[in-house]
Structure formats: structure tokens, C-alpha cells
Amino acid sequence: MIDIEEDIRSLQLESAEDNNGVVNPEDGRPEEVEKSDKMDEDPKQEVEAQSVEPEPKVKDKEVHPVQEEEEEPETTKRHLNVVFIGHVDAGKSTTGGQILFLSGQVDERTIQKYEKEAKDKSRESWYMAYIMDTNEEERVKGKTVEVGRAHFETETTRFTILDAPGHKSYVPNMISGASQADIGVLVISARKGEFETGYERGGQTREHVQLAKTLGVSKLLVVVNKMDEPTVQWSKERYEEIESKMVPFLKQSGYNVKKDVLFLPISGLAGSNMNTRVDKSVCPWWNGPCLFEALDAIEVPPRDPKGPFRYCISDHLAPRMPIIDKFKDMGTVVMGKVESGSVREGDSLLVMPNKDQVKVVAIFIDEDRVKRAGPGENLRIRLSGVEEEDIVTGFVLSSVANPIPAVNEFVAQLVILELLDNAIFTAGYKAVLHIHSVVEECEIVELLQQIDTKTRKPLKKKVLFVKNGAVVVCRVQVHFLALRI
């Protein structure tokens, strides 16, 4: 009996070992038989069970990128670039500085410091402008030279302020700022004599409006500033006088005044009608929105985040760190705006027109590092695979699969606003071309056809030259660098 029991136990242990120890030695034999019977009856069952087991892992992989997207704050609010334009001394920098103060971007202590600094220079009313005008030359002269850049947020939108210079000597800088903008804020001084100076022929109010429309700024807020001036005192008559003169000019410049333009009165220095509506005791006749409400309500055409990537380089910087061994591979930093598509850390891109292949090492929005960014964002991108001296302002970062074309000649439709010294516009005419941040010398090679300004259709007769006010289709040739279009 003892021998038989030992034999039975040894058989049970062997069967348990065959099943990796899962089966109980006491009832292992019958269970093994049941399993084998089931497999004989339906051999597909085990195969189905095996295919179901890895499902949780696949789901985990699918969910992971969604969680990453939810963690990225830049996707929660829309982003708009706002350029402040207008005649010199209209109050652009002061208005921009007041916006930053009212939105909590600048604290009271900093304002007190700027007030003291302005008072020491006998320029008490300039202290708000010091927020935007950061270099000493701008503060001493009271004139913006470079395009100032700052950021603020409302409940629904993140804004980048682009403070363009108003002096006629710095028009190229104004063009650079306006080319990056989605919407424009045209600042007009209500003070007696100042509006007239900016509006008359040769004034920067006119030139800035025309340039903004040409550069693609389709929405415009016209803010009548300095309404608290002793010569104005929130006068409805003065406000309506300015509006009545500006409306025909805006229409002539191509704006649909009813849909794309909004007028409102403000005081940039006092902050009136900016983040909250002006008090009725101050301005009883105004029933419209304040500046923040108007900015929030503006609708701009949506961009395609899945389109081919286009990033126009407006500046390039050496790495902002000491040049020592461990920072050698940190790469070159470029600044610019995403015009189309999206970019992520680790993406491979082309620097056009040189076709240098680079890798995205890091992306920064304001001072925050992010993993990705979509169209319309102003970014700093750190690149590897290219040296700083190989990048020129105006180059374009482009997708490898769909690179942007590089050309020496292109066909364009031009509106001739004003020719100097009554010159005629014909083949051989030379000019300076501004496209986003590109500045290139160019020459008109051929006039192809003139467009009727009333019907917007081409005229049949062959065109040899045109004068002021004409619309013409022509072939343009650029010199030196191939142009990125």
C-alpha cells in the first residue's frame, strides 16, 4: 500500500510540474483532463483569450499622448498678436504700458520707480511708456525705435503686444512689427493739432493704415486717445469729428468699416475705458465696450495647425549662456512667428533657402518651455545642426516633407499708393521689398496687366507704365538672396 501511495504522489507531482505548479496535486489529474477535452471541443478559445490579454497595454499607449496635450497650458486659450500703430506721440507705448499694468503684468513698485525716473528727466507723463520702451535712447528721446514686445492675458485670450515705432525714420521697423500681427490697434491723439498732424498728407497715421492693410492686418481697433486732455475733456464733438475724417480714408485703404473696424475713446495715461467701461460721470455719451472687451470680441480667421510648417525668423540669437564646454551642444536660438502648421520638440526641419536640416531642441513661449506650439505663436526655438552665422533674418523654418519654395522672380499684384517725385512705374523701376521680416532690393522686370480699380478685372490694353493709385500685375526680380514666399 505504501508503495502504491508513493507512486500516486509522484505522478501527481510530475503533472503539477508539467503545468508549472498551477494545478493542485490532489485534484490535478481530473482538471488536466477537463482542459484537454475543452481544447478538443473548441480549439479557438485559447487563441481568443491570448488576443484579448494585451488590450490594456494598447489602451494605455493610446491615452498617453492625450494626457500630454491636456497638461500643456498653451492649448487652453487662443493667441493673438496685436500691433499698436499710429503717428509719433499718439500714445502707443503709454497705452501698451497701461494695458500691462491693468492686467497685472507690472507691479505698483515698478510703476513708482518709472514715475521717479520720468520725473527726474522732467518727463512726468512718460512713465507708463517706460514699460514698453526699455532702452535708454527711447526713454531719453521719448520715441520708440525698435518694435517693443510684451504679453498679457484676458479670460479667453493670450495677447502678444507689438509696439511699433511711429516716427517716419523707423518705418522699416514698423513693417516688421505689423507683418507679425493678427489685429491692429490704431492709436490717434484727440489733442488739438496732434490728430491733424498725423492725418495730413505725409503723416504716419495715413501711412501706417495703408501699410497695415497691405501687410495683412485685416481687423483694426481705432482708439481715440488722450480724451482726458484739457483741450478735449471727453468731447463727443471732437470724437465724432475724428471718426468722420477717418472712415472715408479707411474705406479707401481697403477696410470694410462696418465689419472690420471699431472706434472707441480711451485715456491711455489714466487707464480710462481700458479694462473697465468709462464711468458715465466722466463720459455720459459712450455706450460701447472698453478696450479689453473689444480685443476679446475680435474674431480672426482660424489657422490650420495641420498645414505645412512655416516659421518666419525675425531674429537670431547666440545661446544665452556662458560659452563653456558643457553648453557647446545647446544650439542656436531663433525668434519668430509660426505662420502655418505646428512644431514639437524633436522635430526635424529645413532652414530655407539654404536647405540646412536642423533639429528642434527646445521651444519657448514667453519664458515658458513647452513641448509643442501651433500657428500664430511667437516663439523662441533652440536648434541643433546649424551655426548662428548660417542663419539670416528672414529665413524660414519649413517642414522637410513640404518645404517652402525659394525663387528669384515672382508675379505679384501691386497697389501703387504713392510714387516719389511724380515718378512713373514701369519695367526697370527699382525699390526695396518688405515681406514678413525679409528686406531685399528688387526690380520690376515686366508689367503684365493693369487692373480696373472699379470692376477689379484686368484691362485688355497692354500696359507700359502706371502712376499713383493704379493696381498692376507685374513680374518682380529680387537680388542677392533667393526669396522665401
Residue 325 banded pLDDT, cuts 50, 70, 90: very low
HEC assignment per residue over 303-320 = CCCCCCCEEEEEEEECCC
Mean pLDDT, range 179-205, rounded to an integer: 87
Mean pLDDT, range 271-286, rounded to an integer: 93
pLDDT tens track for 77-123: 888 889 998 888 888 888 988 898 888 888 788 877 877 877 777 66
Q: Look at residue 138 in the predicted model and tell me its pLDDT.
A: 57
Report how far residue 449's alpha carbon sits from residue 457's, in angstroms, rounded to the nearest whole number. 10
Closest CA to 481 of 450, 444, 442: 442
Mean pLDDT, range 434-441, rounded to an integer: 79
For residue 24, pLDDT over 60 is answered with no
% of the chain at pLDDT higher than 90 = 26
Q: Which residues pair with 397 in a beta bridge?
A: 311, 351
State the burial class of residue 190 (Cβ atoms within 10 Å of its Cβ: 0-12, 13-18, 19+): buried
CA angle 183, 187, 192 (to 5 degrees): 160
% of the chain at pLDDT higher than 70 = 74
Residue 135 banded pLDDT, cuts 50, 70, 90: low
Mean pLDDT, range 178-196, rounded to an integer: 89
- The sign of the CA dihedral 136, 141, 142, 148 is negative
Q: Look at residue 396 in the predicted model and tell me its pLDDT.
A: 86
What's the number of CA atoms in the CB half-sphere (13 Å) around residue 70?
5
3-state secondary structure of 339: strand
| CA 390 to each of CA 125, 387, 398, 484: distance values in angstroms, whole numbers, following the listed order | 44, 5, 16, 16
Longest CA–CA separation in the chain, Å: 127
Q: Are 332 and 299 in contact (CB under 8 A)?
A: no
The mean pLDDT value of the chain amounts to: 76
Chain centroid offset of residue 19 CA? 65
For residue 479, pLDDT over 50 is answered with yes
For residue 449, pLDDT over 90 is answered with yes
Q: Map grid coordinates 518682380 to a residue.
A: 476
Q: Look at residue 480 in the predicted model and tell me its pLDDT.
A: 59
For residue 181, pLDDT over 80 is answered with yes
Residue predicted with more confidence, 242 or 124: 242
Residue 313 banded pLDDT, cuts 50, 70, 90: low
pLDDT tens track for 51-86: 334 443 333 333 333 334 334 444 468 888 899 988
Q: Look at residue 148 in the predicted model and tell me its pLDDT.
A: 73
- Interacting residues of 11 by C-beta distance below 8 A, sequence separation 6+: 29
Mean pLDDT, range 144-154, rounded to an integer: 77
Closest CA to 96 of 276, 300, 271, 282: 271
Count other Cβ atoms within 10 Å, centred on residue 201.
6
Q: Which of 133-147, 174-188, 285-299 has the lowest mean pLDDT?
A: 133-147
Closest CA to 99 of 192, 14, 161, 23: 161
Q: Which of 212-216, 303-307, 442-446 has the lowest mean pLDDT?
A: 303-307
Q: Look at residue 440 in the predicted model and tell me its pLDDT.
A: 84
Mean pLDDT, range 144-170, rounded to an integer: 79
